[in-house]
């Protein structure tokens, strides 16, 4: 960390900074110019409070040298990490498409969806049993019964299941039901207690981007999970709030290369909650994979017009098949497999 003093800073202020850093066990390298003194603090930066240093009079500014996200940063781990989800790899050379309905509705709907997911060539299935709905009067999800329905539908196909955890009190139930991949939704990206709780498990986690979160806040949220010991984290870009009203959210395609540079962890994209309309999903999916995403989280319903939730953005089984064929072509050009 570098502490830059104001022009002609008082020697007492320089000593104050030095004492503060030494109390934290840091070695100081003081460089005195004609007008300005610069202090280099040597050692781990994570326990240094930048604001407390900047509050000292005559400190101009404090500059970090290391990334504040220690474990998830590429600085810490140069190679791409592959997250193993019950035997299915996410990250690396393979692109994984996670498909399934927005919400778990009935056993029939789930078994039909599972068949279509497998028939399209997807190796993981999604479905929400606990739904974060804008209106308290809208369908809130089938709850624990939904987890059971999901497990039963996925079992015959050995499909790992992906489902959203909203409440820390449901974590044990998720683990008892063998949820293979826990989804943290956009509204909970900074629910730090929830992040700490999933960080204490070994179950892989999809961390969706908060709808107004910066990439740096998102990386720090992932660091919460990693700091607890769970490094099985997958980032999911799902669109951010913007001024535009022609679609649900603005898919931040730029975030894909930025994240791939900043972190070694896999990055996937949810084109369904970005566009918010079925007809946009193929174009956004192609853009995501072409930009380097490691996979997609996409909504597909056996009969979209009858879906209990997000009916207007679900692909039909036929549309999912067509999308998989298109993405296979893009993957080939990129030298990746689907
Ligand atoms: C979902 O994937 O079911 C969902 C609710 O997404 P988000 O958290 O991105 O809105
Ligand atoms: Mn949905």
- What pLDDT tens digit does each residue of the chain (338 aa) get? 999 999 999 999 999 999 999 999 999 999 999 999 999 999 998 899 999 999 999 999 999 998 889 999 999 999 999 999 999 999 999 999 999 999 999 999 999 999 999 999 999 999 999 999 999 999 999 999 999 999 999 999 999 999 999 999 999 999 999 999 999 999 999 999 999 999 999 999 999 999 999 999 999 999 999 999 999 999 999 999 999 999 999 999 999 999 999 999 999 999 999 999 999 999 999 999 999 999 999 999 999 999 999 999 999 999 999 999 999 999 999 999 99
- Quick one: which of 136, 143, 135 has its CA closest to 166? 143
Nearest atom within ligand 1 for CA of residue 128: 3
Pocket of ligand 1 (CB under 6 A): 102, 128, 132, 164, 185-186, 208, 238, 270, 273
- Quick one: which of 295, 304, 210, 279 has its CA closest to 249? 210
Q: Which residues contact 201 (CB under 8 A, 6 or more apart)?
A: 171, 175, 182, 230
pTM, to two decimals: 0.94
DSSP classification of residue 5: E
From residue 118, give the alpha-carbon distance in Å to each of 114, 326, 329.
Answer: 6, 17, 19
Q: Cα separation of 141 and 267, whole Å?
A: 27
Q: Cα separation of 275 and 298, whole Å?
A: 11
CA 211, chain centre distance (Å): 12
CA of 127 to the centre of ligand 2 (A): 9
Q: What is the residue with the minimal CA distance to atom 4 of ligand 1?
A: 185
Q: What is the residue with the minimal CA distance to atom 10 of ligand 1?
A: 186
Are 267 and 251 in contact, with CB atoms under 8 Å apart? Answer: no
Q: Which of 235, 240, 273 to mutate to test the pocket of ligand 1 (most atoms within 8 A of CB)?
A: 273
Are 118 and 159 in contact, with CB atoms under 8 Å apart? Answer: yes
From residue 4, give the alpha-carbon distance in Å to each of 8, 14, 32, 108, 204.
Answer: 11, 10, 11, 65, 41
């Amino acid at each position: 960390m570098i502490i830059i003093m104001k022009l002609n800073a008082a020697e007492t202020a320089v000593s104050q900074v030095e004492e503060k850093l030494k109390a934290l066990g840091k070695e100081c390298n003081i460089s005195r110019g004609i007008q300005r003194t610069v202090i280099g603090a040597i050692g781990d930066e994570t326990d240094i409070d930048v604001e407390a240093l900047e509050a000292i009079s005559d400190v101009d500014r404090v500059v970090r040298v290391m990334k504040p996200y220690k474990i998830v940063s590429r600085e810490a781990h140069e190679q791409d990490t592959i997250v193993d989800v019950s035997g299915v790899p996410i990250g690396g050379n393979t692109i994984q498409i996670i498909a399934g309905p927005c919400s778990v509705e009935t056993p029939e709907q789930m078994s039909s969806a599972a068949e279509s997911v497998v028939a399209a060539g997807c190796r993981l299935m999604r479905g929400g049993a606990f739904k974060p709905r804008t209106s308290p009067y809208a369908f809130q999800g089938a709850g624990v019964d939904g987890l059971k329905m999901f497990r039963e539908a996925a079992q015959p196909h050995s499909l790992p299941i992906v489902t959203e955890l909203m409440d820390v009190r449901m974590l044990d139930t998720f683990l008892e039901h063998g949820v293979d991949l826990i989804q943290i939704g956009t509204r909970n990206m900074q629910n730090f207690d929830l992040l700490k709780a999933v960080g204490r498990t070994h179950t892989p986690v999809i961390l969706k981007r908060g709808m107004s979160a910066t990439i740096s806040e998102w990386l720090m949220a992932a660091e919460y999970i990693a700091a607890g010991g769970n490094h099985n984290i997958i980032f999911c870009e799902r669109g951010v709030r913007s001024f535009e009203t022609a679609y649900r959210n603005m898919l931040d395609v730029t975030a894909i290369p930025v994240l791939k540079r900043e972190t070694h962890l896999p990055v996937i994209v949810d084109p369904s909650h970005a566009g918010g309309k079925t007809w946009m999903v193929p174009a956004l999916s192609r853009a995501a994979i072409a930009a380097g995403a490691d996979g997609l989280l996409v909504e597909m319903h056996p009969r979209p017009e009858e879906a209990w939730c997000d009916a207007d953005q679900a692909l039909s089984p036929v549309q999912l098949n067509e999308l998989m064929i298109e993405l296979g072509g893009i993957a080939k050009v990129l030298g990746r497999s689907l």
